[in-house]
Chains A and B, each alone.
Chain A
Amino acid sequence: MNLINIIEQLETVDPEIAERMSPRRAAIKNITSFGSKVAIAALPMAFATVFKKAYGAAAPAAVSDVLNFALTLEYLESYFYNQGAAASGLIPNNNSGYVAEIQSDENQHVAFLKSVLGTAAVSMPAFDLTAGGAFPTVLSNYDTFLAVANVFEDTGVRAYKGQAPNLLGNQVVLGAALSIHAVEARHASVIRQIRASRGVDIAPWITGNAGLSNDTGIGAAVDASYAGENNVMQGGVDVTKLPSIYGNSTAYGVAVEAFDEPLSMAAVLAIVKPFFK
Protein backbone atom coordinates (compact mmCIF):
# COMPACT_ATOMS: atom_id res chain seq x y z
CA MET A 1 0.00 0.00 0.00
CA ASN A 2 3.02 2.27 -0.12
CA LEU A 3 3.08 4.37 -3.27
CA ILE A 4 -0.37 5.85 -3.47
CA ASN A 5 -0.85 6.32 0.23
CA ILE A 6 2.41 8.17 0.32
CA ILE A 7 1.30 10.55 -2.39
CA GLU A 8 -2.10 11.11 -0.89
CA GLN A 9 -0.66 11.82 2.54
CA LEU A 10 2.10 13.98 1.15
CA GLU A 11 -0.46 16.14 -0.60
CA THR A 12 -1.91 17.05 2.79
CA VAL A 13 1.45 18.30 4.07
CA ASP A 14 2.85 19.50 0.76
CA PRO A 15 0.25 20.63 -1.81
CA GLU A 16 2.99 20.95 -4.41
CA ILE A 17 3.90 17.28 -4.30
CA ALA A 18 2.15 16.61 -7.60
CA GLU A 19 4.25 19.25 -9.31
CA ARG A 20 7.38 17.95 -7.68
CA MET A 21 6.51 14.48 -8.93
CA SER A 22 5.37 15.60 -12.36
CA PRO A 23 6.62 13.53 -15.30
CA ARG A 24 7.76 16.81 -16.84
CA ARG A 25 10.50 17.06 -14.31
CA ALA A 26 13.82 15.96 -15.68
CA ALA A 27 14.50 13.44 -12.94
CA ILE A 28 11.78 11.10 -14.14
CA LYS A 29 11.53 12.19 -17.74
CA ASN A 30 13.36 9.08 -18.81
CA ILE A 31 10.97 6.68 -17.10
CA THR A 32 7.70 7.91 -18.54
CA SER A 33 7.75 5.31 -21.28
CA PHE A 34 6.05 2.30 -19.79
CA GLY A 35 6.72 0.35 -22.94
CA SER A 36 10.31 -0.09 -21.90
CA LYS A 37 11.17 -2.95 -19.60
CA VAL A 38 14.32 -1.19 -18.49
CA ALA A 39 12.28 1.85 -17.53
CA ILE A 40 9.85 -0.20 -15.46
CA ALA A 41 12.68 -1.95 -13.66
CA ALA A 42 14.26 1.42 -12.88
CA LEU A 43 11.09 2.98 -11.51
CA PRO A 44 11.42 2.50 -7.74
CA MET A 45 14.99 3.75 -7.67
CA ALA A 46 14.12 6.67 -9.91
CA PHE A 47 11.17 7.42 -7.65
CA ALA A 48 13.53 7.56 -4.67
CA THR A 49 15.80 9.88 -6.63
CA VAL A 50 12.89 12.20 -7.35
CA PHE A 51 12.03 12.46 -3.69
CA LYS A 52 15.60 13.30 -2.83
CA LYS A 53 15.85 15.91 -5.58
CA ALA A 54 12.47 17.39 -4.66
CA TYR A 55 13.31 17.78 -1.00
CA GLY A 56 17.07 17.93 -0.88
CA ALA A 57 19.12 15.90 1.57
CA ALA A 58 16.45 15.88 4.28
CA ALA A 59 12.72 15.99 3.66
CA PRO A 60 10.57 18.22 5.92
CA ALA A 61 9.56 16.50 9.13
CA ALA A 62 5.92 16.22 8.07
CA VAL A 63 6.92 14.48 4.85
CA SER A 64 9.23 12.12 6.67
CA ASP A 65 6.44 11.29 9.09
CA VAL A 66 4.19 10.20 6.24
CA LEU A 67 6.89 8.18 4.55
CA ASN A 68 7.78 6.58 7.85
CA PHE A 69 4.18 5.65 8.42
CA ALA A 70 4.09 3.92 5.03
CA LEU A 71 7.39 2.25 5.85
CA THR A 72 5.93 1.03 9.12
CA LEU A 73 3.04 -0.64 7.30
CA GLU A 74 5.46 -2.27 4.88
CA TYR A 75 7.59 -3.41 7.84
CA LEU A 76 4.51 -5.20 9.15
CA GLU A 77 3.89 -7.05 5.91
CA SER A 78 7.51 -7.99 5.30
CA TYR A 79 7.92 -8.99 8.97
CA PHE A 80 4.90 -11.25 8.63
CA TYR A 81 6.28 -13.12 5.61
CA ASN A 82 9.86 -13.14 6.91
CA GLN A 83 8.75 -14.60 10.24
CA GLY A 84 6.55 -17.12 8.47
CA ALA A 85 9.34 -18.22 6.15
CA ALA A 86 11.72 -18.55 9.12
CA ALA A 87 9.31 -20.45 11.38
CA SER A 88 10.49 -24.03 11.55
CA GLY A 89 8.02 -26.50 10.11
CA LEU A 90 5.36 -23.85 9.37
CA ILE A 91 5.39 -23.75 5.59
CA PRO A 92 5.23 -27.06 3.71
CA ASN A 93 8.10 -27.56 1.26
CA ASN A 94 5.76 -27.59 -1.73
CA ASN A 95 4.45 -24.15 -0.76
CA SER A 96 7.71 -22.41 0.12
CA GLY A 97 8.07 -20.96 -3.38
CA TYR A 98 4.74 -19.17 -3.11
CA VAL A 99 5.59 -17.55 0.18
CA ALA A 100 9.10 -16.66 -1.01
CA GLU A 101 7.71 -14.83 -4.06
CA ILE A 102 5.36 -12.67 -1.99
CA GLN A 103 7.96 -12.19 0.76
CA SER A 104 10.37 -10.86 -1.84
CA ASP A 105 7.87 -8.25 -3.08
CA GLU A 106 7.17 -6.95 0.42
CA ASN A 107 10.87 -6.71 1.26
CA GLN A 108 11.38 -4.70 -1.93
CA HIS A 109 8.77 -2.21 -0.75
CA VAL A 110 10.62 -1.79 2.55
CA ALA A 111 13.96 -1.35 0.78
CA PHE A 112 12.42 1.25 -1.50
CA LEU A 113 11.02 3.36 1.34
CA LYS A 114 14.21 3.10 3.35
CA SER A 115 16.18 4.32 0.35
CA VAL A 116 13.85 7.29 0.03
CA LEU A 117 14.09 8.20 3.73
CA GLY A 118 17.79 7.55 4.19
CA THR A 119 18.90 8.32 7.75
CA ALA A 120 15.40 9.60 8.59
CA ALA A 121 13.95 6.10 8.32
CA VAL A 122 12.43 4.74 11.52
CA SER A 123 13.50 1.40 12.88
CA MET A 124 11.13 -1.50 12.66
CA PRO A 125 8.61 -1.33 15.52
CA ALA A 126 7.52 -4.28 17.60
CA PHE A 127 4.70 -6.25 16.06
CA ASP A 128 2.18 -8.67 17.43
CA LEU A 129 1.29 -11.02 14.58
CA THR A 130 -1.35 -12.65 16.78
CA ALA A 131 -3.23 -9.31 16.68
CA GLY A 132 -3.73 -9.23 20.41
CA GLY A 133 -4.46 -12.93 20.60
CA ALA A 134 -6.95 -13.14 17.72
CA PHE A 135 -4.54 -15.41 15.81
CA PRO A 136 -2.50 -17.21 18.50
CA THR A 137 -1.17 -19.89 16.11
CA VAL A 138 -0.24 -17.55 13.23
CA LEU A 139 3.38 -18.77 13.24
CA SER A 140 2.78 -22.38 14.20
CA ASN A 141 -0.29 -23.35 12.18
CA TYR A 142 0.03 -22.96 8.42
CA ASP A 143 -3.72 -22.57 7.90
CA THR A 144 -3.82 -19.69 10.36
CA PHE A 145 -0.79 -18.13 8.68
CA LEU A 146 -2.58 -18.37 5.32
CA ALA A 147 -5.76 -16.91 6.78
CA VAL A 148 -3.89 -13.84 8.03
CA ALA A 149 -2.06 -13.56 4.69
CA ASN A 150 -5.43 -13.76 2.94
CA VAL A 151 -6.69 -10.76 4.89
CA PHE A 152 -3.47 -8.77 4.47
CA GLU A 153 -3.52 -9.24 0.69
CA ASP A 154 -7.23 -8.51 0.19
CA THR A 155 -6.86 -5.42 2.38
CA GLY A 156 -3.80 -4.34 0.42
CA VAL A 157 -5.73 -4.52 -2.83
CA ARG A 158 -8.50 -2.41 -1.33
CA ALA A 159 -6.10 0.15 0.16
CA TYR A 160 -4.39 0.77 -3.19
CA LYS A 161 -7.69 1.02 -5.01
CA GLY A 162 -8.97 3.57 -2.52
CA GLN A 163 -6.18 5.99 -3.34
CA ALA A 164 -6.01 5.68 -7.14
CA PRO A 165 -8.23 8.76 -7.85
CA ASN A 166 -5.68 10.91 -6.02
CA LEU A 167 -3.20 10.10 -8.79
CA LEU A 168 -5.53 10.97 -11.66
CA GLY A 169 -3.69 11.65 -14.91
CA ASN A 170 -0.22 10.96 -13.54
CA GLN A 171 1.15 8.42 -16.00
CA VAL A 172 4.22 7.54 -13.96
CA VAL A 173 2.89 7.31 -10.44
CA LEU A 174 -0.62 6.08 -11.24
CA GLY A 175 0.88 3.56 -13.66
CA ALA A 176 3.19 2.28 -10.95
CA ALA A 177 0.40 2.22 -8.41
CA LEU A 178 -1.92 0.27 -10.70
CA SER A 179 0.95 -2.12 -11.39
CA ILE A 180 1.53 -2.79 -7.71
CA HIS A 181 -2.21 -3.00 -7.13
CA ALA A 182 -2.46 -5.75 -9.76
CA VAL A 183 0.38 -7.67 -8.14
CA GLU A 184 -1.37 -7.48 -4.76
CA ALA A 185 -4.45 -8.97 -6.43
CA ARG A 186 -2.36 -11.80 -7.88
CA HIS A 187 -1.05 -12.46 -4.35
CA ALA A 188 -4.58 -12.39 -2.92
CA SER A 189 -5.76 -14.80 -5.61
CA VAL A 190 -3.01 -17.35 -5.04
CA ILE A 191 -3.23 -17.26 -1.24
CA ARG A 192 -6.94 -17.99 -1.61
CA GLN A 193 -6.19 -20.82 -4.05
CA ILE A 194 -3.74 -22.37 -1.59
CA ARG A 195 -6.33 -22.16 1.17
CA ALA A 196 -8.92 -23.78 -1.13
CA SER A 197 -6.50 -26.61 -1.89
CA ARG A 198 -6.27 -27.18 1.87
CA GLY A 199 -10.03 -27.58 2.27
CA VAL A 200 -11.22 -24.04 2.95
CA ASP A 201 -14.37 -23.20 0.98
CA ILE A 202 -13.04 -20.07 -0.69
CA ALA A 203 -12.65 -18.76 -4.25
CA PRO A 204 -9.77 -16.70 -5.73
CA TRP A 205 -12.10 -13.68 -5.67
CA ILE A 206 -14.17 -12.19 -2.84
CA THR A 207 -17.58 -13.83 -2.88
CA GLY A 208 -20.53 -12.02 -1.42
CA ASN A 209 -23.68 -12.94 0.37
CA ALA A 210 -26.70 -11.01 1.51
CA GLY A 211 -24.90 -9.90 4.65
CA LEU A 212 -21.23 -9.12 4.95
CA SER A 213 -18.70 -10.11 2.33
CA ASN A 214 -16.27 -11.69 4.76
CA ASP A 215 -15.91 -15.02 2.96
CA THR A 216 -12.63 -15.98 4.65
CA GLY A 217 -14.13 -18.27 7.27
CA ILE A 218 -12.07 -16.42 9.89
CA GLY A 219 -14.94 -14.77 11.68
CA ALA A 220 -15.76 -11.33 12.96
CA ALA A 221 -12.11 -10.51 13.74
CA VAL A 222 -11.58 -9.61 10.07
CA ASP A 223 -15.02 -8.27 9.14
CA ALA A 224 -13.64 -4.74 8.85
CA SER A 225 -11.33 -5.82 6.02
CA TYR A 226 -14.38 -6.83 3.98
CA ALA A 227 -16.84 -4.13 5.00
CA GLY A 228 -18.59 -2.81 1.90
CA GLU A 229 -17.32 -5.57 -0.39
CA ASN A 230 -20.93 -6.68 -0.89
CA ASN A 231 -21.73 -3.45 -2.74
CA VAL A 232 -23.65 -4.02 -5.98
CA MET A 233 -24.03 -0.38 -7.09
CA GLN A 234 -21.41 0.53 -9.68
CA GLY A 235 -21.41 4.01 -11.20
CA GLY A 236 -25.03 4.46 -10.17
CA VAL A 237 -26.04 1.15 -11.76
CA ASP A 238 -27.41 -1.77 -9.73
CA VAL A 239 -25.44 -4.46 -11.52
CA THR A 240 -27.70 -7.25 -10.27
CA LYS A 241 -30.28 -5.80 -12.67
CA LEU A 242 -28.00 -6.24 -15.69
CA PRO A 243 -28.45 -9.22 -18.02
CA SER A 244 -26.50 -12.43 -17.51
CA ILE A 245 -26.37 -15.70 -19.41
CA TYR A 246 -29.30 -16.82 -17.25
CA GLY A 247 -31.64 -13.94 -18.07
CA ASN A 248 -32.37 -10.32 -17.32
CA SER A 249 -30.63 -10.19 -13.97
CA THR A 250 -27.29 -11.13 -12.46
CA ALA A 251 -26.82 -13.24 -9.35
CA TYR A 252 -25.87 -11.34 -6.22
CA GLY A 253 -22.71 -13.40 -5.75
CA VAL A 254 -21.51 -12.73 -9.29
CA ALA A 255 -22.24 -9.02 -8.86
CA VAL A 256 -20.05 -8.91 -5.76
CA GLU A 257 -17.26 -11.09 -7.16
CA ALA A 258 -16.86 -9.13 -10.39
CA PHE A 259 -15.93 -5.87 -8.64
CA ASP A 260 -13.39 -5.37 -5.84
CA GLU A 261 -14.16 -2.39 -3.63
CA PRO A 262 -11.87 0.39 -2.36
CA LEU A 263 -11.05 1.02 1.30
CA SER A 264 -10.31 4.40 2.90
CA MET A 265 -7.04 5.24 4.61
CA ALA A 266 -8.78 5.52 7.98
CA ALA A 267 -10.31 2.08 7.56
CA VAL A 268 -6.94 0.55 6.66
CA LEU A 269 -5.38 2.13 9.75
CA ALA A 270 -8.04 0.71 12.02
CA ILE A 271 -7.62 -2.72 10.47
CA VAL A 272 -3.86 -2.99 11.00
CA LYS A 273 -3.81 -1.40 14.47
CA PRO A 274 -4.13 -4.67 16.44
CA PHE A 275 -0.95 -5.95 14.79
CA PHE A 276 1.19 -3.26 16.47
CA LYS A 277 2.49 -3.84 20.00
Chain B
Amino acid sequence: MKTEELKNVDSANMPRRSFLRYAGVGAASVGLLATAGCQKDHIKTYNGVDIGSGDTGILNYAYALEQLEAAFYSAVVANPYTGMSDHEKKLLTSIRDHEILHREFFKAALGSSAIIGLTVDFSSLDFKNRIQILATAKAFEDLGVSAYGGAGYLITNPDYLTIAGKIVSVEARHAALIREMISPGSFAGSDVVDSNGLNQSNEIKVVLPIANTFLKTKVSASNFGYKA
Protein backbone atom coordinates (compact mmCIF):
# COMPACT_ATOMS: atom_id res chain seq x y z
CA MET B 1 0.00 0.00 0.00
CA LYS B 2 2.69 2.44 1.04
CA THR B 3 4.83 1.47 -1.93
CA GLU B 4 1.91 1.92 -4.26
CA GLU B 5 1.19 5.39 -2.91
CA LEU B 6 4.78 6.41 -3.33
CA LYS B 7 4.87 5.11 -6.87
CA ASN B 8 1.84 7.21 -7.58
CA VAL B 9 3.66 10.44 -6.89
CA ASP B 10 7.15 9.31 -7.80
CA SER B 11 7.11 11.15 -11.07
CA ALA B 12 9.09 14.18 -12.14
CA ASN B 13 6.06 15.75 -13.76
CA MET B 14 3.17 14.69 -11.57
CA PRO B 15 0.17 16.21 -13.28
CA ARG B 16 -2.50 17.94 -11.24
CA ARG B 17 -4.90 15.05 -11.80
CA SER B 18 -2.46 12.70 -10.10
CA PHE B 19 -2.00 15.12 -7.25
CA LEU B 20 -5.74 15.31 -6.77
CA ARG B 21 -6.01 11.53 -6.83
CA TYR B 22 -3.11 11.29 -4.43
CA ALA B 23 -4.59 13.96 -2.21
CA GLY B 24 -7.87 12.07 -2.29
CA VAL B 25 -6.18 9.00 -0.87
CA GLY B 26 -4.87 11.13 1.98
CA ALA B 27 -8.31 12.52 2.66
CA ALA B 28 -9.83 9.06 2.91
CA SER B 29 -7.22 7.96 5.43
CA VAL B 30 -7.63 11.06 7.55
CA GLY B 31 -11.39 10.71 7.53
CA LEU B 32 -11.13 7.10 8.63
CA LEU B 33 -8.87 7.96 11.55
CA ALA B 34 -11.15 10.78 12.63
CA THR B 35 -14.19 8.49 12.59
CA ALA B 36 -12.40 5.84 14.62
CA GLY B 37 -11.35 8.45 17.16
CA CYS B 38 -14.87 9.73 17.61
CA GLN B 39 -16.30 6.28 18.16
CA LYS B 40 -13.69 5.42 20.71
CA ASP B 41 -13.92 8.61 22.72
CA HIS B 42 -17.62 9.30 22.24
CA ILE B 43 -16.76 12.88 21.41
CA LYS B 44 -18.77 14.65 18.77
CA THR B 45 -17.20 17.91 17.70
CA TYR B 46 -17.02 19.80 14.45
CA ASN B 47 -13.29 19.75 14.06
CA GLY B 48 -13.19 22.66 11.66
CA VAL B 49 -13.28 26.36 11.09
CA ASP B 50 -15.06 28.74 8.70
CA ILE B 51 -13.15 31.60 7.11
CA GLY B 52 -16.09 33.99 7.46
CA SER B 53 -17.34 36.52 4.94
CA GLY B 54 -16.22 39.59 3.03
CA ASP B 55 -12.63 40.77 3.00
CA THR B 56 -12.03 39.10 6.37
CA GLY B 57 -13.05 35.80 4.79
CA ILE B 58 -10.60 36.21 1.92
CA LEU B 59 -7.77 37.21 4.27
CA ASN B 60 -8.55 34.20 6.47
CA TYR B 61 -8.53 32.04 3.34
CA ALA B 62 -5.04 33.31 2.54
CA TYR B 63 -4.07 32.87 6.19
CA ALA B 64 -5.20 29.24 6.10
CA LEU B 65 -3.17 28.50 2.96
CA GLU B 66 -0.10 30.25 4.36
CA GLN B 67 -0.43 28.27 7.61
CA LEU B 68 -0.40 25.08 5.57
CA GLU B 69 2.62 26.13 3.50
CA ALA B 70 4.57 27.36 6.53
CA ALA B 71 3.97 24.09 8.36
CA PHE B 72 4.93 22.08 5.30
CA TYR B 73 8.25 23.83 4.67
CA SER B 74 9.04 23.80 8.40
CA ALA B 75 8.71 20.02 8.27
CA VAL B 76 10.73 19.82 5.05
CA VAL B 77 13.64 21.78 6.51
CA ALA B 78 13.45 19.93 9.86
CA ASN B 79 13.43 16.53 8.11
CA PRO B 80 15.53 16.97 4.99
CA TYR B 81 14.84 14.54 2.18
CA THR B 82 17.54 12.10 1.18
CA GLY B 83 20.12 13.84 -0.94
CA MET B 84 19.13 17.44 -0.13
CA SER B 85 22.10 19.56 -1.22
CA ASP B 86 23.28 22.56 0.75
CA HIS B 87 22.04 24.76 -2.08
CA GLU B 88 18.59 23.20 -1.98
CA LYS B 89 18.47 23.45 1.80
CA LYS B 90 19.32 27.14 1.63
CA LEU B 91 16.55 27.83 -0.90
CA LEU B 92 13.96 25.73 0.95
CA THR B 93 14.88 27.45 4.22
CA SER B 94 14.30 30.82 2.55
CA ILE B 95 10.89 29.68 1.29
CA ARG B 96 10.05 28.42 4.81
CA ASP B 97 10.95 31.81 6.26
CA HIS B 98 8.86 33.64 3.62
CA GLU B 99 5.84 31.43 4.31
CA ILE B 100 6.16 31.86 8.07
CA LEU B 101 6.25 35.62 7.61
CA HIS B 102 3.20 35.49 5.32
CA ARG B 103 1.41 33.49 8.01
CA GLU B 104 2.41 35.86 10.79
CA PHE B 105 1.49 38.87 8.69
CA PHE B 106 -2.05 37.63 8.07
CA LYS B 107 -2.39 36.68 11.72
CA ALA B 108 -1.36 40.19 12.78
CA ALA B 109 -3.47 41.89 10.09
CA LEU B 110 -6.59 39.92 11.01
CA GLY B 111 -6.18 40.37 14.77
CA SER B 112 -9.22 39.08 16.61
CA SER B 113 -10.88 38.18 13.30
CA ALA B 114 -8.22 35.57 12.54
CA ILE B 115 -9.19 31.91 12.38
CA ILE B 116 -7.49 29.57 14.83
CA GLY B 117 -4.11 28.00 14.23
CA LEU B 118 -4.73 24.97 12.04
CA THR B 119 -3.51 21.48 12.85
CA VAL B 120 -1.88 19.92 9.80
CA ASP B 121 -1.68 16.28 8.80
CA PHE B 122 1.27 15.25 6.69
CA SER B 123 1.07 11.57 7.66
CA SER B 124 0.60 10.65 4.01
CA LEU B 125 4.00 12.12 3.12
CA ASP B 126 7.41 10.49 3.26
CA PHE B 127 9.68 13.41 4.05
CA LYS B 128 12.75 11.40 3.02
CA ASN B 129 11.49 11.06 -0.55
CA ARG B 130 12.84 14.01 -2.57
CA ILE B 131 10.56 13.63 -5.56
CA GLN B 132 7.44 13.21 -3.45
CA ILE B 133 8.23 16.22 -1.25
CA LEU B 134 9.11 18.49 -4.16
CA ALA B 135 6.01 17.34 -6.05
CA THR B 136 3.93 18.25 -3.01
CA ALA B 137 5.72 21.60 -2.73
CA LYS B 138 5.02 22.24 -6.41
CA ALA B 139 1.36 21.41 -5.93
CA PHE B 140 1.14 23.74 -2.90
CA GLU B 141 2.85 26.64 -4.71
CA ASP B 142 0.85 26.31 -7.92
CA LEU B 143 -2.31 25.95 -5.85
CA GLY B 144 -1.47 29.07 -3.85
CA VAL B 145 -0.82 31.16 -6.96
CA SER B 146 -4.04 29.95 -8.58
CA ALA B 147 -5.94 30.67 -5.34
CA TYR B 148 -4.86 34.31 -5.18
CA GLY B 149 -5.62 34.68 -8.90
CA GLY B 150 -9.07 33.17 -8.46
CA ALA B 151 -10.10 35.04 -5.31
CA GLY B 152 -8.53 38.47 -5.92
CA TYR B 153 -11.69 39.92 -7.41
CA LEU B 154 -13.61 39.16 -4.19
CA ILE B 155 -11.48 41.64 -2.25
CA THR B 156 -13.15 45.04 -1.86
CA ASN B 157 -10.42 46.98 -0.05
CA PRO B 158 -7.72 48.17 -2.50
CA ASP B 159 -5.04 48.02 0.21
CA TYR B 160 -5.78 44.36 0.85
CA LEU B 161 -5.67 43.65 -2.87
CA THR B 162 -2.26 45.33 -3.12
CA ILE B 163 -0.94 43.21 -0.26
CA ALA B 164 -2.33 40.04 -1.81
CA GLY B 165 -0.58 41.08 -5.01
CA LYS B 166 2.68 41.60 -3.14
CA ILE B 167 2.50 38.06 -1.82
CA VAL B 168 1.25 36.18 -4.87
CA SER B 169 4.20 37.12 -7.06
CA VAL B 170 6.55 35.78 -4.39
CA GLU B 171 4.54 32.53 -4.42
CA ALA B 172 4.92 32.45 -8.21
CA ARG B 173 8.67 32.90 -7.81
CA HIS B 174 8.65 29.93 -5.42
CA ALA B 175 6.58 27.88 -7.84
CA ALA B 176 8.98 28.51 -10.69
CA LEU B 177 11.92 27.55 -8.47
CA ILE B 178 10.39 24.32 -7.16
CA ARG B 179 9.41 23.35 -10.69
CA GLU B 180 12.97 23.88 -11.91
CA MET B 181 14.25 21.75 -9.01
CA ILE B 182 12.05 18.88 -10.17
CA SER B 183 12.16 19.32 -13.91
CA PRO B 184 14.31 21.97 -15.61
CA GLY B 185 12.32 23.97 -18.15
CA SER B 186 8.96 23.52 -16.41
CA PHE B 187 8.90 26.95 -14.68
CA ALA B 188 5.80 28.00 -16.63
CA GLY B 189 4.60 24.61 -17.83
CA SER B 190 1.49 24.22 -19.95
CA ASP B 191 -0.28 22.59 -16.98
CA VAL B 192 -0.27 25.98 -15.19
CA VAL B 193 0.19 28.57 -17.93
CA ASP B 194 -2.01 28.47 -21.01
CA SER B 195 -1.12 29.19 -24.62
CA ASN B 196 -1.97 32.88 -24.14
CA GLY B 197 0.45 33.30 -21.29
CA LEU B 198 -2.15 33.31 -18.52
CA ASN B 199 -1.57 31.56 -15.20
CA GLN B 200 -4.22 29.12 -14.01
CA SER B 201 -6.78 30.51 -11.54
CA ASN B 202 -8.87 28.46 -9.14
CA GLU B 203 -11.95 29.28 -7.12
CA ILE B 204 -12.12 28.80 -3.36
CA LYS B 205 -14.34 25.75 -3.67
CA VAL B 206 -11.65 24.09 -5.80
CA VAL B 207 -8.69 25.09 -3.62
CA LEU B 208 -9.98 24.35 -0.12
CA PRO B 209 -10.87 20.67 -0.63
CA ILE B 210 -7.27 20.08 -1.77
CA ALA B 211 -5.84 22.02 1.16
CA ASN B 212 -8.13 20.14 3.54
CA THR B 213 -6.56 16.82 2.60
CA PHE B 214 -3.49 18.00 4.52
CA LEU B 215 -5.39 19.53 7.43
CA LYS B 216 -6.78 17.92 10.57
CA THR B 217 -8.65 21.16 11.23
CA LYS B 218 -10.92 21.33 8.20
CA VAL B 219 -11.48 24.75 6.65
CA SER B 220 -14.89 25.77 5.30
CA ALA B 221 -15.93 28.78 3.25
CA SER B 222 -19.69 28.60 3.61
CA ASN B 223 -20.12 32.20 2.43
CA PHE B 224 -18.17 31.39 -0.71
CA GLY B 225 -19.93 28.17 -1.61
CA TYR B 226 -17.79 25.53 0.10
CA LYS B 227 -18.53 23.55 3.25
CA ALA B 228 -15.89 21.09 4.40
Chain A interfacial positions (CB closer than 8 Å to B): 34-35, 37, 40-41, 43-44, 97-98, 101, 104-105, 108-109, 112, 157, 160-161, 164-165, 168-171, 174-176, 178-190, 193, 203-205, 234-235, 237, 239, 242-245, 250-251, 254-255, 257-262
Contacts and interface: CB of A to CB of B under 8 A. Distances in A.
Nearest to A255: B101
Contact of A186 (B74, B161, B193, B195): B193
B105 A168 contact: no
B176 A189 contact: yes
Nearest to B180: A193
B170 A205 contact: yes
A56 B194 CA distance: 29
A182 B197 CA distance: 10
Closest 5 CB pairs of A and B: A185-B172, A189-B176, A165-B158, A185-B169, A182-B199
Interface of B: 74, 91, 94, 96-98, 100-102, 104-105, 108-109, 145, 148-150, 152-153, 155-156, 158-163, 165-170, 172-177, 180, 185, 187-188, 193-203, 206
16 contacts: A44-B196, A157-B169, A164-B161, A179-B149, A183-B188, A183-B199, A186-B173, A188-B173, A189-B177, A204-B176, A205-B94, A205-B173, A239-B104, A250-B104, A251-B97, A257-B98
Given A205-B173, A260-B166, A239 B156 contact: no
A261 to B, nearest CB: 6
A260 B108 contact: no
Residue among A171, A181, A182, A239 with max Cβ neighbours from chain B (10 Å): A182
A55 B101 CA distance: 46
Nearest to A194: B180
A34 B163 contact: no
A200 B193 CA distance: 28
A182 B149 contact: yes
A87 B48 CA distance: 58
